[in-house]
Chains A and B, each alone.
Chain A
Amino acid sequence: MNSQREFVAALLDPERDCPAQLTTWNGSDPAVRFAVYRNNVLSSLVDALAASFPVVQQLLGEAFFRAMAALYVRQSPPRTRILAEYGADFADFIEAFAPASSLPYLADVARLERLRVRAYHAADVAPLASETLTAALAAPDRLRDLLLQLQPALGLLDSSFAVVSLWAAHQGSLQIADVDPHQAQSALVLRNGLQVEVIGIHQSDSLFIQALQAGLTLGHAAEQAHALNDAFDLGTCLAHLLRAGAITHSAYNHQRQLP
């Protein structure tokens, strides 16, 4: 019989009796003391979520956020020992959380914040030397066969809501009253040096970058983006990536295995 299994079940379920075999020197009810562990587990994990999702907390207010996060913790306790990884599906939980349904954009704000945490801790990869890129760009006839690898920190979010503006409004760089939350926006999240940046991009830019991430050539990726929106501007999109050192490797696709 595994007594730690019983201990864990009681930790996560406040309705359960505290584990057998607990004693106290003065014969007082051990449940009061066991509650210290219950509280430590819950509050430390809620704190971890609050640290990773500060704008979600600001949008909901601290009391609402903590009550919601506590339900999530009990339903989805960490399956990682690294708290920076905790909350990977918090946005999905929020999306299904009826009491927060009056803020339909909340789940996407959580997805954006999750991308920021991921970007912050992602592996360090040196950006491609600028000479290499300059050389590549100087050979326009071969440009469409160029394969670009991007930083592991880079993340994208296509939202039906104004996630980038909502996020910016909570950094003090926009007035929240000026934000129409129902305007669809795409976000590019990347780490520029030590700073995580959130950049508003067009959905076609997002599609282009996703195509690069999937290993498509620059030519194929740009074609897909143009098909989505013929105003797609390859130059602006590449400039975003170059400025942030987001391109890490380049090569030409010589194989042409695909039709």
Chain B
Amino acid sequence: MLASPTHAANSAPALRPLLPCQAGIGLKSQHYQQVLDSSPAVGFFEVHAENYLVAGGPFHHYLGLIRERYPLSIHGVGLSIGAQQPLDLNHLERLAALLERYQPESFSEHLAWSSHDDLFLNDLLPVAYDTATLSRVCEHIDQVQSRLQRQLLLENPATYVEFSNSSMDEATFISEVVRRSGCGLLLDVNNAYVSGINHHWDVHAYLRALPLHAVGEIHLAGFAEDRDAAGDRLLIDNHGAPVDAAVWLLYTEVLQLIGATPTLIERDNDIPPLEVWVQEAQQAQALLQRHQPRTRQAQP
């Protein structure tokens, strides 16, 4: 049976600035100095939280300087919200301190798990979409939002397998998580496309079944292409290539549905020169400018 809905009363989003409805890029250490010297025209920067859970040194030095000049999104990759074990409270405390220090406009994490016992696998692993997972994920998000006193944006995953014990589809699962926990949605359009191909979903129907009113940020990225055992397309979300034409097309469809929304061009492998990355962001910016932003409804 379904667990009783958790209440979002403790995790109501605090009044704080949101990311601008512009295109942003990731911030990588090889670009720190160039960003400071050239002030590229991007709407915001995004960093992985775990890279900054270090005591001091150049990472904090540069992030501090760049944060003074740009809006910031902090994107967690290690909270393991989908894990079958309790959240690592020590990790949550370190995240809280990081957010306190940099006051980012947005904090996001993944609908995935990445650790078991004390092992960390450094990958975003898939969950079964069943009622037990649903209540566990909601409890974890509630715990995170209560501690951080802010809304978390949850990112839809890119997956390569499905589970026979799933009892609902991904969009239904995410809608329930958003409804029960009051979290927002980080809509990764590349992930939607990748999963759509990998599982033969109708991605247009998938998008429309998501809680689009709750989208606070969009991710766009590139994928690699492989084949499964039957010879069918298997797309790998590797963040190592420019955004694919099919994903750009899907992005324009999303903008028509939800209006202009802060959009990150995500890249974690084969990092391009800063100018090339900024150019790709400008491609998103051009599309964003054709749409009006719609005010995101704060969750009750």
> A: which residues have CB within 8 A of B?
2-5, 7-8, 11, 21-34, 36-37, 40-41, 44-45, 48, 77-84, 119-125, 152-153, 191, 194
Contact = CB atoms under 8 A, between A and B. Distances in A.
B50 A33 contact: no
Given A28-B228, A32-B228, A122-B56, A22 B122 contact: no
Interface stretch (B37-45, B112-120, B272-280): B112-120
Residue from A31, A124, A125 with most neighbouring chain B CB atoms (10 Å): A124
A23 B163 contact: yes
Nearest to A44: B122
B296 to A, nearest CB: 30
Contact of A4 (B54, B113, B165): B113
B49 to A, nearest CB: 9
B253 interface: no
A23 B84 contact: no
Contacts of B53: 81-82
A37 B112 CA distance: 12
Interface string B118-139: 1111110100100000000000
B51 A120 contact: no
Given A40-B123, A124-B56, 12 more contacts: A4-B113, A8-B116, A21-B165, A24-B228, A25-B199, A32-B229, A37-B161, A41-B122, A45-B122, A81-B114, A122-B57, A194-B58
Contacts of A83: 50-51, 122
A26 B232 contact: yes
Nearest to A77: B119
Given A33-B161, A36-B236, A81 B199 contact: no
A245 to B, nearest CB: 13
Contact of B161 (A26, A30, A41, A194): A30
Contacts of A28: 228-230, 232
B234 interface: yes
B70 interface: no
A24 B161 contact: yes
A197 B220 CA distance: 39
B165 A77 contact: no
| Of B84, B160, B232, most A-chain CB atoms within 10 Å | B160
A31 B160 CA distance: 10
B119 A8 contact: yes
Interface residues of B, number: 47
B120 A152 contact: no
Of all A-B residue pairs in the complex, the 8 with the closest CB atoms, nearest first, are A28-B230, A121-B54, A124-B56, A81-B78, A123-B55, A28-B229, A29-B229, A25-B200
A2 B58 contact: no
Interface in B24-75: 50-51, 53-61
B164 interface: yes
B61 A194 contact: yes
A80 B59 CA distance: 19
Contacts of B164: 21-23
A194 B32 CA distance: 12
A47 to B, nearest CB: 8
Contact of B162 (A25, A40, A125): A25
Nearest to A27: B230
Contacts of A8: 116, 119, 121
Interface string B150-176: 000000000011111100000000000
Contacts of B234: 32-33, 36
A48 B122 CA distance: 10
Contacts of B230: 24, 26-28
A3 B84 contact: yes
Nearest to B119: A77
A26 B56 CA distance: 50
